[in-house]
Each structure stands twice: as C-alpha cells, then as structure tokens.
Amino acid sequence: MGDSVFIVMPAYNEEETIEKTVKQWYPVLRFGNDNSRIVIVNDGSKDRTLSILEDLAVRYPKLVFLDKPNGGHGPAVLCSYRYAIAQGADYVFQTDSDGQTLPEEFEPFWGYRKSYDMVVGRREVRTDGLFRLIATRGLRLIIRAMFGVFVQDANIAYRLMRRDALEECVRLIPEHFFLANVMVSILFAKKRMAVKSIPVTVLPRQGGVNSVFAPQIIKIGLRAVADFYKMRKSLRKTSFMAH
C-alpha cells in the first residue's frame, strides 16, 4: 500500500498565493498512498484566504483546511503537526503556503525517508535580505549556546519527518510556543536523531505582504531567547538534555 504523507502548511493572509500553492503541491501527493493529504491551517487570516480554501476543498478532495484564531506561525505549525499525527500519517512534510518553495525538489526527500528520521532542506542561496541572513546566523549561535547543538538552518520550512519521531518532539513543545519548527529542529538534534540535509531553493515571496521586518525580527529574537530559556528548563526534566 505504501506510505502516507501529509503536506502541512500554515497560512496567514495568503489570498494572492494560496490557490497557486495548492495547485503546485497537490500532484506531490502521488508519492504517498491514498490516505495522503494536504493540510493547510488558516491562522485567523483577515483576507479571503479562508473562503478560497473552502472553494479549493470542493475541487481538491485530498485538501484539508483547518481554521483557528490568529496565534502566530508557531501555534499554526503545531496545529498542523498534531492533526497529521492524529490522522496516522506515516510522514509529515512541512512547507510554506506563500509560493517560495518548489514541489519539484520533493522527490529526493521522499527517496531518503526510510533512512532518516528527518530530511531537511538548507538554504545555500538566500533571497530574503541581509538582515534575515544575519538573523539566521544569530539564531544558530543562540541554539548552540543554549542547547549545545549545531543546527545549520533551524527555521527552514522544507522538511520531511517520520511521524513517530515528530510525535516524540511535539509532545514536549507548549501549544503556544512561538518558534515551533525551530524547536523541532533543536529536539531532533538534541536526541541525535538521524537527519539528512539537502540544498533547496527558496524563491522571493510570490505575493502578499511580508509581515516580518527588521524591528519585528529583533522582537522575535528576544522572545525566542525567553522561550528557549523556558524550554531548556523544562527539558532538563526529560531525557533530551541527557544527550
């Protein structure tokens, strides 16, 4: 029967890109079995994202959309993870809904799935500006200092994960954790799970408005440090910090 894959994406105010993104990613479900799905979490969008998803779900039977109040990227990602886990997905693939990632690059990830707990992309060419590049490097240093692990591109939204490995990590992350996908990267590294890194393309944003600018990135960084500190204290009570 083969393995199922749930392609999960958070979405916030993506009325300009969401239909194109669904059309691009829907054919990727052919790699999985009939239980495979695309799951998009509408994070309280204020534009037409939700109504577009409602229309798309009629035309694409393997598209599932979840609607929740706005809580930010992290809670939306966690919502999608938990849904995929609850539905018994064999593998969970996370990407973004803004058209910046390429479905054409998925196949090698799927080919490595049996050999690794996570196959993750890494951005070797950045198109999102110098400040974000600096922020990524700063995040790398913070993670190394606080958790003692090296994660090259902790925030990349192009990752294929084995469900049971993801579930082991997700159960430790608070529901409203701000940088949930970053924390998943940290936990995979801390547990010394088998991770394969592959270069991927990340295009400039294909539509809509980028809601994160330099001042917001600074605030995100400060919040991340506070959240990481709380997580480190919590993890000391588990086996994760023993490695």
Supply 85's token pair. Answer: 């886990």
Options 3.40.50.150, 3.90.550.10, 2.130.10.10, 2.40.50.100; CATH of 5-242: 3.90.550.10
Contact predicate 203/100, CB 8 Å: yes
d(CA 212, CA 229): 23
Which of 143, 163, 146, 169 shows the shortest CA–CA distance to 155?
Answer: 143
Local confidence band at 139 (pLDDT 50, 70, 90 cut-offs): confident
d(CA 101, CA 94): 11
Domain locations in the chain as residue ranges: 5-242
pLDDT digits (tens, 9 = 90+) for 92-130: 999 999 999 999 999 999 999 999 999 999 987 655 555
User: For the whole model, what pTM was predicted?
Assistant: 0.90
Separation of CA 197 from chain center: 15
Exposure string of 165-197, with b = 16+ CB inside 10 Å and e = fewer, is bbbbbbebbeeebbbbbbbbbbbbbbbebebeb
pLDDT digits (tens, 9 = 90+) for 70-95: 999 999 999 999 999 999 999 999 99
